[in-house]
Amino acid sequence: TLLSRPSYMHDGGLFFDDDGKAYVFYGSGRLAQLKDDLSDVDPQGLNVDLTRWTRTPEETALLEGSHAVKRGDYYYLLMISMAWGEPGRIRREVCYRAKNLAGPYERKVILEVPFESWGGLGQGDIVQRQGKWYAMIFQDRGGVGRVPCAMPVRWVDDWPMLGDVNEK
């Protein structure tokens, strides 16, 4: 028996497209199509470096926690973004969307609030249940760990905005 180890994909998020093909978004914007048996990257499949993301100057850390979802004509990729080591840094959830899985993608901050002085929220996904959309993301509370937080999602101009109408 030959043992193999699949490719390493930092903080990967699994995504199944409408045609049943499986992909992993990982790192700070890489996309790899998997083999049909999900055992590794398909060397003949779609493998794209999407790391040409538009960032603001204070975004100095990795974009992590890639989670993808498709709604209507768009693919949405949600990731956490922040400035590491900056005083008063706050986590934010950013969303990239495109009409083609391989891009080009456009960017929007979809949540950026301090939330009980713990430095914001980020890294998670959105889901639809009984016709309504919700976000499940976490807040890092140091020694307490990563606290899960659920909130409503509002769709504004085809962007998933997290929180209520008052951005709470």
Please compute the mean of the pLDDT values over residues 124-147 and round it to a whole number: 87
Pairing of strands 22-26, 92-98: unpaired
CA-CA distance, 44 to 22, in Å (whole number)? 13
More confident residue, 98 or 60: 98
- Does a cis peptide bond (omega within 30 degrees of 0) precede residue 160? no
Biggest CA–CA distance in the chain, Å, is 58
* Averaged pLDDT for residues 124-148: 87
pLDDT of residue 97: 94
The string of DSSP codes covering the chain is: -----PPP-TT-EEEE-TTS-EEEEETTTEEEEBPTTSSSB-TTS-EEE-------TT--S--EEEEEEEETTEEEEEEEE--TT-TT--BEEEEEEESSTT---EEEEEE---TTTS-B-EEEEEEEETTEEEEEEEEE-GGG-EEEEEEEEEEETTEEEES-TT--
Say if pTM beats, i.e. exceeds, 0.85.
yes
Mean pLDDT of the chain: 84
Residue 9: CB atoms within 10 Å? 17
pLDDT per position as a tens digit, 6-54: 667 788 899 999 999 999 998 888 899 999 999 889 999 988 887 666 6
